[in-house]
Amino acid sequence: MSAPLGAARAWLEQDPDPVTRAELERLLHDAEGGVINAETELRSRFGSRLTFGTAGLRGELGAGPARMNRVLVAQAASGFAAFLLSREEHPSIVIGYDGRTNSDVFARDTAELMAGAGVRAILLPRALPTPVLAFAVRHLGVSAGVMVTASHNPPRDNGYKVYLGGADAGSQIVAPTDAEIQARILEAAERDIRLFSRSGDFEIAGEEVLDEYVARTAAIAGDSGGLVPFVYTAMHGVGWETARRVFDVAGFGEPVVVADQIEPDPEFPTVAFPNPEEPGAMDLAFATATRVGAELVLANDPDADRLAVAVPDGEGWRRLSGNEVGVLLGWRAAERAHGGGTLAASLVSSPVLRTIADAHGLDFAETLTGFKWISRPPGLVFGFEEALGYLVDPEKVRDKDGISAAVAVLALAAELRRNDRTLDDALDDVAERIGGFASTQISLRVSDLGEIPRMMRELRENPPTHVGSLAVDRIDDFAEGFGDFGPTDLIRLWTEGGSRIILRPSGTEPKLKIYIDATSTDGDGRARRRAAAAVVAELDEGMRRLVG
């Protein structure tokens, strides 16, 4: 029996899921019958395993260690329990889940295995947004949290995200903790999961957790100054129940919703990818907003930790970039940070937040990508990442929070509306004060993951001297570490005039991401934004030619 066949047989014997068992039995039958594609598929599932990293686990549903399934989750839960027990005598954990396929199953398995291992386990009462779980870690004072979600990944994916309490204050894990947990998971994987102790002696969290999250999130609005007609979509995710309550308590009333996307649906039938950044994902929201005469569109991703914002643009709608929303919320936070504090952004996000911090006499922290880093600077009052992630209330949640960000946007829009001004006007005002900033992103999705290292290697070995008509002044390669940053697969190019281009592989999807930023101080606020956008457009075209 070949190695993949033997591994698959051993896996099948311990798999408690009838769906993945049947799937694996068919593959084994076909492979043993000489079907070439079947053996190839088995090798792809059993030739490697999903690695637990700082983003936890994330992958396609299916049988085998290279897929997300109940066996892999049991190994992860058992390993994580061992890790927690090695750190403290009586650890505790809260577990949440979204509306994706098997999220509830993976969450319950985790609760049973944690309880069986001697960890106090608390399961959230139903599918709820990731920010509610992140809040619960801090609010309940537990040792750790697990959120079963794949966020905005394709429909067939699921994931396992980990938070730590205590000194980590409810942030996601960072190195070397991920490697320590991975080592425990690999130890667990040596055993048959049927030997793991399980217990139904776990708790179900009361409604008080959600009630407190709603109250504290609504308080972000302060005196909002009036209503703004807006459209909301949950993108087939779990955001609506919580967002609806928050909007009501905050005094924003009930939005018009995108009916076809408002309830959780793991098939995500109306979108190619359930990500507000993807082309076409917000088309139904735009059509709804046009039909009802709304002034604003808000969209959460499926686990509601991200927020997309769109504004009228002539005859249609324009989605603000994550950097533009970061400008608006960062300026709002800076104006309210009367006691000082820190603004934080990842190094791939617009440099505008540093300029905002300087203008208000605040500290600024530039971090590696991910809110596991953005959430950690001391004195944090606001943090953001260009991928539609915003941390607007660090005392409540140490992670991006699309519902809290929606409240902050609505409050700002209402304040502006009272003076017959819009979010676009506010962007002009900021540009008038500190300069116009523009940005864009290129996401090159690949089917062969080997293409991404090849492209990065080619750029390192043959660095460009120009991008478009702009000369490259210098190149920063982070592969061996750079400045305060440890080694990471990232290249940063600086062109004449101070424009910036960053290239890095995505940490969660098969993509090479390219981030382009430019700034201008020529003319008034609107002219500055246009001038910066013109430079960005030229660099975008140049980079597409370079890597295409």
User: Which CATH number do you get for residue 453?
Assistant: 3.30.310.50
201/106 same-domain check: yes
240/301 same-domain check: yes
Q: What is the pLDDT of residue 123?
A: 98
Q: Which of residues 406, 432, 458 is at a domain's end?
A: 432
93/197 same-domain check: yes
Chain centroid to CA 226: how far? 31
CA separation for the pair 242, 237 (Å, rounded): 11
Q: What is the pLDDT of residue 338?
A: 86
For the annotated catalytic residues, the residue numbers are 151
Q: Are 306 and 273 in contact (CB under 8 A)?
A: no
Q: Which of residues 179, 205, 231 is at a domain's end?
A: 205
195/216 same-domain check: no
Q: What is the pLDDT of residue 532?
A: 96
Q: Which of residues 151, 174, 205 is at a domain's end?
A: 205
Q: What is the pLDDT of residue 223?
A: 85
Amino acid in the structure at residue 353: L
255 upstream amide cis, omega within 30 of 0: no
Q: What is the pLDDT of residue 163?
A: 98
340/446 same-domain check: no
442/427 same-domain check: no
The kind and range of the H/E element at 391 are strand 389-391
Q: What is the pLDDT of residue 225?
A: 63
Give the strand order in the sheet containing 389-391.
Answer: 363-367, 342-346, 380-385, 389-391
Predicted confidence pLDDT, tens digits, the chain (548 residues): 466 788 999 999 999 999 999 999 999 999 888 888 988 999 999 999 999 988 899 999 999 999 999 999 999 999 999 999 999 999 999 999 999 999 999 999 999 999 999 999 999 999 999 999 999 999 999 999 999 999 999 999 999 999 999 999 999 999 999 999 999 999 999 999 999 999 999 999 999 999 999 999 999 999 876 789 999 999 999 999 999 999 999 999 999 999 999 999 999 999 999 999 999 999 999 999 999 999 999 999 999 999 999 999 988 999 999 999 999 999 999 999 988 999 999 999 999 999 999 999 999 999 998 999 999 999 999 999 999 999 999 999 999 999 999 999 999 999 999 999 999 999 999 999 999 999 999 988 887 778 888 889 998 999 999 999 999 999 999 998 998 898 989 999 999 989 999 999 886 678 889 999 999 999 999 999 999 999 999 999 999 998 87
Q: What total of structural domains would you count in the chain? A: 4
**Token match 């969450």: residue?**
107
Q: What is the pLDDT of residue 3?
A: 63
Q: What is the pLDDT of residue 1?
A: 45
290/331 same-domain check: yes
367/499 same-domain check: no
186/219 same-domain check: no
Q: State the CATH number of the domain containing residue 376.
A: 3.40.120.10
74/127 same-domain check: yes
196/234 same-domain check: no
Amino acid in the structure at residue 530: R
59/43 same-domain check: no
Give residue 34's domain range. 1-47
Name the pTM for this structure. 0.94
Helices within 294-435 (DSSP H only) = 322-336, 352-359, 371-374, 402-418, 423-434
10 Å Cβ neighbour count for 108? 16
Q: Are 119 and 92 in contact (CB under 8 A)?
A: yes
